[in-house]
Structure 1
């Protein structure tokens, strides 16, 4: 057996072992399977016992039925008497209890003890209705427990009793069997906050529940994601589940396809996010494992169906016979400054939440532009209550002023090549052929002319390269900037989505797929200005070289392509690109007044008389040209030899 075969077998064995470990069921999954296997008979018995019971959702539950539900849930060995239970004909009614502050209004449901609805007070839907993250069956919470018979007990099926604190900031939903046996869901909403505290407490239940239910709580959270914005196709693109590993990075699931992800490592939080709003669940102790599921929906009113099954550790107080765990809920906007503020004053990096990573700011190598420049500028001018259209104009002007010296240098470099056009055309006439040897000679003669005249043809690319990070960063910023949401400017009533001047309902092949059923005015203006500038710029960049003539129409084609691509993007982004091109046109006219091309040509002719000092770049370029020319000659000789042999 040779060395390569041995290494190959070892690698195959390692892959098989790694695959087996990766696909091995988690401990929670094995425990779940054991519970299901051991309780099949008991489940059938339980089904037969409750088959005749009547299910009640919104009506009053009879006192006898309510007692049986509580008894089954706690599985207490002692009998329940009338005095032991809090359930009464009036208290068994389904009620909605309000818990609100200046920013959020929640309705808590006595049926299941969960959150019935979440309304964000400072925001409206695209149709000006009140903005709810979810309402009714759109959002569901459930705590799964197992009694000593391994029968699953669901909190969503129970009727809780609300206990409101004196200050109205805390509501306790209590499921009580006796004074010493109860389950509490405790909701606490501080003033002027999007973050809410949520605690689960089990008291006196160690005799009735399965030991595994007193080690980890399993919670189920599902949310049907509402459509909140005008452009639902674009909104779906920015709606996805996020989750953060404990002491590691933030990850996100697919935005376009159905996906289920089982995570067995500690999770610091997970978030059900749409384009501008999110629901985040943050446990006091990291989830031990989580199963997350995202399903796109084909619906006029809903975007996605999110689900999560999560196991969270319990803190046990055996002296008080109490088992508890805590969470924080964030129901609010995906706003960078608001989310980042939750880490303010937190010194230990392990305790930081990094919720601001829910904001899509582009790739890691790019988002520093948005974090360090764009967001501070927006925050400053927003604090002055300036109009959003004016803020975008100021931002565009700032970017253009910063790179103005480089833009002028680029224009001057183009002007140098332009005044040498007659000499370039003479070179084209001297080497008119299209074969590789003629092209190499023509290119070498052109570079020699530029070198003697002191012209660097690559220097004009520098300003564009420096602008690219800003252009790309803003491409990511505008669709995620809630600051633009429902902010009007001129004819656009919402800069965070497209500003349609023409719309239709028919499905037009190709057009509807790429543009949607509308035409955006800012996008149309941006395209028009770019085409005009591209046509005008043809003469400025025409140096007489044959290979450049084929490329001069490329800016026009790119502008038309960008119209189809950007038509459904936010009006704020197209407005920025429109302003950027306008300022470029104005600056180009200004540069033309300052650059005297006759004097520039005279200077270049004087440069030819001076000793040539090659730059490192020009030397490498010439060396590469010589190498290409040598290879071309060798290939020509080889071809000649082959042809001779064939004869």
Structure 2
């Protein structure tokens, strides 16, 4: 649990650092300088503009298409992360036995615990850090795309469906869909957790409700362009979970049943 808390704190730190790399309210232009602007935000802003111009300056459709494109590019990393998560779940019963065997808190016992834990990882070909790398790689890209949406001036001047992209959704439709998709995606992810992870259930349950609420509240006050991005991205993640993670968990259950 300490590792997970440290991991979450690290991600929050990275998010804060990258979010603070530049002012979100400063429009991205040819004169924008700095590695963050030149190599991350500006290319995505140019891509949004290019796709919009292909469809008669439809920036809403551009956000939808570029969001899907980015998610497709990141898909191999997500698959790797899901496989790593599944591998960790598969060895949870054995890992729990090792922890119970060395439940004492003295230094010598804890050293043996770490040694046997590493041997268990090596035996099953599990790398506990493998699930972290895909997330760390994705974070700058997704945050840069957030900046590109917020700082591309042309987006604010256009509308899409019933919303003005530079203004919040007046009917709260996008915030509701974004929150609902976030909840569904997290619910699907939780459905594959094993019984050995019951000690984590309170934290997971809290995240199940907190994340959708946060996304929904942000989407109410933020420009509709960003809400649209969250809607498309979260729906994509729901489909990814249904078509990739669910079959993986079924295979795991089938193998478990066959071993009984």
Q: CA deviation at 1:406?
A: 1.5
User: Looking at CA atoms only, which structure, 1 or 2, has the larger radius of gyration?
Assistant: 1
1:553 to 200, 205, 208: 205
Structure with higher RCO (Cα < 8 A, 6+ apart) = 2
CA contact (8 A) 1:428 1:545 kept: no
Corresponding position of 1:365 = 36
2:80 to 409, 414, 423: 409
Question: Which aligned pairs between 1:207-606 and structure 2 lie closer than 5 A?
Answer: 336=29, 340=30, 354=31, 356=32, 364-365=35-36, 367-385=38-56, 387-431=58-102, 435=105, 444-492=115-163, 494-501=164-171, 520-542=172-194, 544-545=196-197, 548-549=200-201, 551-553=203-205, 555-556=207-208, 557-592=210-245, 595=248, 596-597=251-252
Q: CA deviation at 1:547?
A: 6.5
CA contact (8 A) 1:367 1:473 kept: no
CA contact (8 A) 2:48 2:59 kept: no
1:553-605 residue CA offsets vs partner (Å, 9 max, x unmatched): 3533244234334431111112112211111121122214653326887xxx9
What are the ranges of 5 or more consecutive residues in structure 1 without an aligned counterpart? 1-250, 253-274, 277-333, 341-353, 358-362, 502-519, 606-647
TM-score by length of 2: 0.72
Higher percent of residues as helix: 2
Q: CA deviation at 1:490?
A: 2.7
Determine helix, strand or coil for the equivalent of 1:567: helix
Task: Count the aligned residue pairs.
Answer: 233
Change (3 A) 1:594 1:529: closer
Determine helix, strand or coil for the equivalent of 1:496: coil
Q: CA deviation at 1:398?
A: 0.9
Distance, in Å, in 1 between the alignment partners of 2:44 and 2:150 is: 17
The Cα RMSD (Å) is 3.5
Corresponding position of 2:12 = none
Question: Which aligned pairs between 1:178-217 and structure 2 lie closer than 5 A?
Answer: none
Determine helix, strand or coil for the equivalent of 1:458: coil
What are the ranges of 5 or more consecutive residues in structure 2 without an aligned counterpart? 1-21
